[in-house]
Amino acid sequence: MNKEKFLQGRVAIVTGGTSGIGKAVALALAEIGANVAIGSRSAEKSSCQTEIEAKGVKALAMTLDVSSTDSVETFCNNVFKTFGQVDILVNAAGITYLHKISEHPDQDWHRVIDVNLNGIYRTIKFCLPGMIERKWGRIINIASTAASVGNPNVPAYCASKAAVVGLTRC
């Protein structure tokens, strides 16, 4: 095995894989040999699949709304159908809204928690059983320094990222 391609034959999912940290992670995984499935609300409109495939691996880009169990299940089933398994799950999808806690609309609060925390729970729920069965897998949940350092303008984000750290420990 080529040491530079030590993930050759492995399959990775990256949520939020069309921009920011998610895109950087997806490209880095492809660079070291992993086939990569990216899911995001804009995946099918993105050039990320082409960029990943240019690294010499297979790629799948699909629309994914991590706040919807049906969307996560459909996405994961398509990844299983395309690649056969998932070895690495990187949860990078996330959102935030700027509101002081006393002015935070409930709808925005719930949306941030649903995407940033519940979305991670949903993807783990569908990917973890296969990892346990094969006795190999890696789950990487992107949190933030906001998990331990508060910011009065993004309380839902801070709360969601602190919860991600707790969930990851589980």
Q: Which two tokens stand for residue 169?
A: 């420990």
Mark residue 168 as left, alpha or beta (left: phi above 0; alpha: psi -120 to 50; beta: remaining). Answer: alpha
Can you identify the CATH homologous superfamily of domain 3-169? Answer: NAD(P)-binding Rossmann-like Domain (3.40.50.720)
pLDDT value of residue 1: 57
pLDDT tens sequence across 80-91? 999 999 999 999
Cβ(86)–Cβ(131) below 8 Å: yes
Cβ(13)–Cβ(90) below 8 Å: yes
Other C-beta atoms within 10 Å of 137: how many? 18
pLDDT tens sequence across 93-133? 999 999 999 999 999 999 999 999 999 999 999 999 999 99
What string of DSSP letters covers the chain? --GGGTTTT-EEEEETTTSHHHHHHHHHHHHTT-EEEEEETTGGGSSHHHHHHTTTS-EEEEE--TT-HHHHHHHHHHHHHHHS--SEEEE---------GGG--HHHHHHHHIIIIIHHHHHHHHHHHHHHHHT--EEEE---GGGTS--TT-HHHHHHHHHHHHHHH-
Distance of CA 104 to the CA centre of its chain: 26
Catalytic residue among 35, 157, 161, 162: 157
Question: What ranges do the domains of the chain cover?
Answer: 3-169
Residue 121 known to be catalytic? no
Q: What are phi and psi of 91, to 5 degrees?
A: -95, 100
pLDDT tens sequence across 21-70? 999 999 999 999 999 999 999 877 789 999 999 999 999 999 999 999 99
pTM of structure: 0.95
